[in-house]
Homo-oligomer: A and B are copies of this chain.
Amino acid sequence: MTDSNPAHSAVQKPFRRLLLTGAAGNLGQQLRGALAAWADVVRVTDIAPLGEVAAHEEASIVDLADEAAVLALLEGVDAVIHLGGISVEAPFEDLLEANIRGLYNLYSAAQKQGVKRIVYASSNHAVGFHPVTEVVDIDAPLRPDTLYGVTKCFGESLSRYYFDRFGLETVCLRIGSSFEQPKNPRMLVTFLSYRDFIELVRCSLFTNRVGHAIVYGVSDNRTKWVDNTKAAFLGFRPQDSSVEFEHLFPVSAPTADLDDPTQRFQGGAFILAGPMEPKR
Contacts and interface: CB of A to CB of B under 8 A. Distances in A.
Interface of A: 4, 6-7, 9, 14-15, 78-79, 92, 96, 100-101, 104, 108, 116-117, 129, 131-135, 139, 141-147, 149-150, 153-154, 156-158, 160-161, 164-165, 167, 169, 185, 205-211, 213, 222-225, 227, 229-235, 237, 246-247, 250-256, 258, 263-264, 271, 274-275
23 contacts: A6-B247, A9-B250, A96-B96, A96-B100, A100-B100, A116-B254, A129-B160, A132-B209, A134-B230, A135-B232, A143-B164, A144-B157, A145-B161, A147-B161, A153-B157, A154-B154, A205-B253, A207-B223, A208-B255, A209-B255, A223-B234, A223-B235, A227-B232
Given A161-B144, A223-B232, A133 B209 contact: yes
Given A157-B157, A223-B235, A224-B235, 4 more contacts: A104-B147, A205-B253, A206-B254, A224-B233
A149 B134 contact: no
A92 B116 contact: no
A160 B135 contact: no
- Counted per complex, copies of this chain come to 6
A264 B154 contact: no
A142 B160 contact: yes
A158 to B, nearest CB: 5
Minimum-distance CB pairs A-B, first 3 = A223-B235, A224-B232, A153-B157
